[in-house]
Amino acid sequence: MKRTCKQVLEHMIEHCKDIADAVSRVKTVEGMDTDNLIRKAIVFSILDLGELTKLLEKHINLSDCKIDWKGLKGMRELVGVCHYNNFGNWVENIHIP
């Protein structure tokens, strides 16, 4: 199924809300790293945001935007590699401005 730009953006917003909800449930960096279910929820949402960014590129020129889309795709790679290869406490290395 081909998604419209609006559908992609709505799905991205849903993931952002899910991440915010997951973070609010644990309240600390340590909580995110020790709660396996929360960590998986956050990782999945970040991975999917990166994939959705690729879909968004089909609709708009991301280089003309003020949002760091390249950074979001890079975050997907960082989180995916660190999570799946169990590279320690990856949560502490993530900075969200």
On whether residue 54 sits in a domain, the answer given is yes
Is the confidence at residue 32, as pLDDT, over 80? Answer: no
On whether residue 14 sits in a domain, the answer given is yes
On whether residue 97 sits in a domain, the answer given is no
On whether residue 94 sits in a domain, the answer given is no
Range of the domain at 11: 5-86
Q: For the chain, how many structural domains are there in total?
A: 1
Cβ(8)–Cβ(49) below 8 Å: no
On whether residue 96 sits in a domain, the answer given is no
Tell me what pLDDT residue 87 has: 46
On whether residue 26 sits in a domain, the answer given is yes
Q: What is the mean pLDDT of the chain?
A: 78
Is the confidence at residue 15, as pLDDT, over 70? Answer: yes
| 44-87 confidence digits (pLDDT tens) | 898 899 889 888 888 888 777 788 888 887 777 777 666 655 54
On whether residue 33 sits in a domain, the answer given is yes
Is the confidence at residue 41, as pLDDT, over 60? Answer: yes
